[in-house]
Amino acid sequence: MGCNAIRTSHNAPTPEFLNACDQLGMLVLDENRRLGTNAEPMGELQRQVLRDRNHPSVFMWSLCNEEWDMQTDSAGRGIVQAMQNLVHSLDSTRLCTAGINGSLSGVTFGSVLDVKGLNYNIPYNLDSYYPRYPYSPIIGTEVGSTVTTRGIYTNDTVNGYVASYDIITMSGLPNPMTWGETAEDWWQIYAARPWASGGFNWTGFDYRGEPTPYNWPCINSHFGQMDTCGFPKDLFYYYQANWTLKPVLHLFPHWNWTTGRKINVWVYGNCQTVTLYTNGVSLGQQTLNVQGHIEWDNVTYASGTLQAIGYNNNVAVITNTVVTTGTPAAIALVPDRSTILDDGLDVSVVTVEVLDAQGRVVPTATNNINFSITGGTIIGVGNGNPSSHEPDQMTNQWQRQVFNGLAEVIVQSTNQPGSIVLTATSSGLTSTNVTITEAATLPPPAAPTGVAAVVGNMQVTVTWDIVPGAATYNLWRATTSGGPYTLIAGNIGGVNCGYTDNITSLANFYYVVTANGANGNGNSTNSAEVSASFLTAPTLAPISNQTVNVGQTVAFTASATDTNSPQPSLNFSLLNGPASATLAQINNTKANFNWRPAVTNANSTNVVALMVAVSNSPGLSATQNFTITVNPLPLPTVSSVVWNNGRLTLDVTNSILGPDYSVQASSNLFNWSTLFITNSPPMPFSWTDTNAATLPAQFFRIKVGPPLP
């Protein structure tokens, strides 16, 4: 998701948690549980600081959270000062803060804190405090509290679900969230104020209790950017677009609805513009602000595909497609790690997916899945459903209902090397199993996947997906495909999911990424290679829409402009258009388009798309779209038939410029022979048969083309 810091609200973290943050490069706001100066809370605070102060991940101490009574009482200032003095005596290298949920002005213990911590109450508290104390550090100790449920897109008061859109609903809910902000609101506020040190979003995961905006029988919160199983909600990708280097285009909701239903479609991402398509039909293009979203409201649902294409500088750079799935047909088990330690402690977190016959996750599936295991132990199951009363642990038959297509099983090793086999079955679904290896040592992590390179101003930003079991990453570069590669940056933390390489010369570059094991278990093999070119995309001259008759040829020269020096080879292509249309490249920057509409094209509008691209870098391209409208075709009329001295003359009217016309004759109305063809004749036109006197009795007709025999 790209967060770079975690607040351990509202208690001290475990040592294992801090060890993980040390490895991953994650900052930690280490929080004390209780406010007080008597022996017990001061002793707890002292032990916490002594235990955690040698962890490099800890960057600041939090003394307390939302002490409603004491934060405005004069005695509170003395208590906080004493606690802060204790921390400074034990650790002189770090500052202290606390979560204040009221005003920063007036008599509060915030006045004695090293760093002012603000919970919500923005932007007023920020903007009223800063002008008076511009050199006083301030941080958002708690922001957001946006409530959403994974895979749900309408508020459901019966089942205790909240729509996954970034909206705060104040009516119709029993316990509405009245104090917080949407993700877009709080992040835009802090991003626009560089003197404030960002904010800790409440919360990373859903958690048991506080089922806002509902009450029992809903059993856990909806605040998380991930559910209790760690499955991302839609807002996860809003933050990923803002906080990582990864190219992001997240399209939602799913596309399994009833025909004709009106659906609000949202997109998060970090490209410049987005075009939305339903079953290939464009619903228009919109400009995207990375700190917001774009939406198409009341889209009429029809089964098929929902596709978003993202553009930068009018070049398509990223695509996301959501499809209508079939009914549940099979189960998939996906372990985060397929090899774990045989120490009786290590675990593999296995994602359970319900798939249709084509292998796609069914986003509305609710099937109950049964689990059995040999060689290991199941220690927990879950599905992220905030209203599920199913047990997470069992003594006999392990089972769990999937929630919107997903569930989770946690498998623990034994003390012996060997194989763990987890099996999943469900009535009406194809069963499956997965093997997890127990070993004395772990293999190196897998090679990173999802590697991409984006060219900027003398920079290449290379991004990748997080690898389970990896702590850090290495970026390698070459000037020829296949290497040899030179290390550009080593031990890169996973927070940003990428690295920006500063370039000193214009050339083609080739990158691979390797992952470093979190347990001293070596490095991965190279990722798939990606390339980056500092060539710029060509441009295409605008092409006007045209209206023609049947038979009237549409012909023009498409012209491209390329500013690279030396100029690369360009390729023209016809992305879309009538089947008989042609595009013939005549030199590096020009191509001739030609199309002559046939009778079958009458009364039609034809969308044509031309593209020019750099030959060895097809991502560097430009596209021009235009339409050719073909007018309706009137039927010709024989206005007169004249017989004169052995000659037969037909006068044809109601004809138009463009089509071809032929005169055909038949003696039986079944077999016709063509006597005359004229291509786009002047209107009206006449035809005379000078040998009519020698012919038997015949029928005549006028036929229109193209095509004609």
pLDDT per position as a tens digit, 435-445:
999 999 999 99
Residue 66 is among the residues annotated as catalytic for this protein? yes
Q: Is residue 142 annotated as part of the catalytic site, yes or no?
A: yes
| Per-residue model confidence (pLDDT) at position 494 | 83
Contact call for residues 646 and 693 (beta carbons, < 8 A)? yes
CA distances from 430 to 214, 315, 400, 421 (A): 37, 43, 16, 17
Tokens encoding 525: 């093999």
Ranking 55-69, 121-135, 221-235, 341-355 by mean pLDDT, the lowest is 121-135
pLDDT in tens, 341-353: 999 999 999 999 9
Mean pLDDT estimate for the chain:
92
Least reliable range by pLDDT among 10-24, 428-442, 656-670: 656-670
Assess whether pLDDT exceeds 70 at residue 683.
no
Q: Phi then psi for 599, rounded to 5 degrees? A: -55, -35
pLDDT tens string 171-181: 888 888 889 89
Pairing of strands 604-614, 617-630: antiparallel
Is residue 585 within 8 A of residue 591, CB to CB? The reply is yes
Confidence of residue 684 (pLDDT cuts 50, 70, 90): confident
pTM of the predicted model as reported, rounded to 2 decimal places: 0.76
**Catalytic entry in 31, 40, 44, 66:** 66
Is it the case that residue 74 has pLDDT exceeding 80?
yes
Residues 450-464: pLDDT tens digits? 999 988 778 999 999
Name the catalytic one among 67, 142, 184, 353. 142
The confidence band for 616, taking pLDDT boundaries of 50, 70 and 90, is low
Confidence of residue 693 (pLDDT cuts 50, 70, 90): low
pLDDT of 184 > 70? The answer is: yes
Contacts of 216 (CB under 8 A, 6+ apart): none
pLDDT band per the 50, 70, 90 thresholds, residue 503 = confident
DSSP-based three-state secondary structure for 70:
helix
pLDDT of 107 reads: 60
Q: How many helices (H) and strands (E) does the chain have?
A: 6, 44
**pLDDT 10s digits, 210-264:** 999 999 999 999 999 999 999 999 999 999 999 999 999 999 999 999 999 999 9
